[in-house]
Amino acid sequence: MELQLALDLVDIPQAIEAVKEVEAYIDIVEIGTPVVINEGLRAVKEVKNAFPHLKVLADLKVMDAAGYEVMKASEAGADIVTILGVAEDMTIKGAVEEAKKQGKKILVDMIGVKNLEQRAQEVDALGADYICVHTGYDLQAVGRNSFEDLRTIKRVVKQAKTAVAGGIKLSTLPDVIQSEPDLVIVGGGITGEPDKKAVAAEMQKMIKQGASA
């Protein structure tokens, strides 16, 4: 089980500072969609250059023209690029093909997918590397989470790794670990804490214990 730090509400220098604090405890750094909107793929490039030993995920949430967008993110240094599960099959196929060509991975974000069980099976068959259930900020604000959705994809996904994102905190991490996802994505649960290092260290410890239990 891996831990991904999601950086959403920061600029490039703040992103680098945040990663410096927790780099010993995380596996993947996510350059969040708001960061890409504000700073462009330069954020991916600068964070990858600063932390070459960490994997960097570009949260582009691709919806169309996937081959081109995955190529550009790969050129910037992304190891993993996100595409939306609600995209057309041919778009997801294009993303997977381009990622393979570039030696990179694709994470399919199932945010907004209504028929989760069926779509997860389809996306799995299209060759996604990761399938991620995700409660976005807007649904988090009305008290939703993805824990049940995680159990659903764990049941039906055969090839891809499973991932979960959206409002995960230290207090809710045990629930998540119980379902044994391959990747746990945490943003505000680390970046919103006064002692990011201590929280990330505790999360890594819980994940390692959970993974070996």
Ligand X SMILES: O=C([C@H](O)CO)[C@H](O)[C@H](O)COP(=O)(O)O
Query: What is the tally of helices (H) and strands (E) in the chain?
Result: 11, 8
Token pair recorded at residue 26: 């995380």
Q: Of these, 3, 132, 185, 206, which contacts ligand X (CB under 6 A)?
A: 185
Q: Of these, 77, 85, 94, 166, which contacts ligand X (CB under 6 A)?
A: 166
Token pair recorded at residue 3: 């831990």
Considering the rule CB under 6 A, would residue 167 count as an interface residue with ligand X? yes
CA distance 133 to 175: 15
Binding mask 50-89 for ligand X (x = CB under 6 A): ---------x------------------------------
DSSP letter at 201?
Answer: H
Which residues within the stretch 26-45 sit at the binding site for ligand X (CB under 6 A)? 30, 32-34
Residue nearest to ligand X (CB): 187
Q: How far is the CB of 70 from ligand X (least distance, A)?
A: 17
One-letter-per-residue 3-state SS of 4-73: EEEECCCCHHHHHHHHHHHHHHCCEEEECHHHHHHHCCHHHHHHHHHCCCCEEEEEEEECCCHHHHHHHH
Q: Which stretch binds ligand X (CB under 6 A): 11-19, 121-129, 147-155, 179-187?
A: 179-187
Question: Which is nearer to ligand X, 38 or 159 (by Cβ)?
Answer: 38
List interacting residues with ligand X (CB under 6 A): 6, 8, 30, 32-34, 59, 136-137, 165-168, 185-189
